[in-house]
Amino acid sequence: MNIVLIGMRGSGKTTVGKLLSKKLNKTFYDLDRLLAEKESQPIAEIVKTHGWEYFRDKESEIAEEISQKTNAVIATGGGLILRQKNIDALAAHGKFIFLKASIPSIFRRISKDKNRPSLTEKKSFTEELEDVWNNRKEIYKQTADIIIETDNKAIKQIVDEIIKQL
């Protein structure tokens, strides 16, 4: 069985995924990193050069490829859940864990990261996060087998909670 981590950008999917995979002796895959390596460009550059639709197409290809793996922890991009085919592919061998973080927590974690492309045309980063959250929260909740609140928790606490829930 695979463990598929979903949630907003900055919710801790990669950080949690690395530790969780070690503790469970599973292979770790970060879909955004794999996509960037395959395209030989950072995500921000891919989006700037080719646009979001191209990025989402490539993301779907990677999701399909990784869905064939077993005994893995998979950190997805925040928008992977926007395409049902991605959810279906990863659900075949996986359980979805939604790492739920508040907008203020996400803002604190990633507001200074210049490698994350804008997701909307909003004027402020906080407005963008709120819009994206409002558009995706129901999909995250419906997709999730388990929901883990991450605010004010150490990575180890989150990982231990996931293991306990599993």
Give the pLDDT confidence score for residue 91 in this predicted structure: 96
Instruction: Find the mean pLDDT for residues 145-151.
Output: 96
CA-to-CA distance for 24 and 97, rounded, in angstroms? 15
Residue 108 pLDDT more than 90?
no
Give the total number of structural domains in the chain: 1
pLDDT in tens, 3-27: 999 999 889 999 999 999 999 999 9
CATH number at residue 27: 3.40.50.300
149 HSE (CA, 13 A, CB side): 3
Residue 96 CB neighbours (<10 A): 23
Instruction: Find the mean pLDDT for residues 114-124.
Output: 58
Name residue, tokens 């064939």: 68
Domain that residue 30 falls in: 2-165
The pTM for the full model equals 0.92
Residue 90 pLDDT more than 60?
yes
Give the pLDDT confidence score for residue 114 in this predicted structure: 58
Sequence-distant contacts of 34-41: CB under 8 A, at least 24 apart: 34/62, 34/66, 35/59, 35/62, 35/77, 38/62
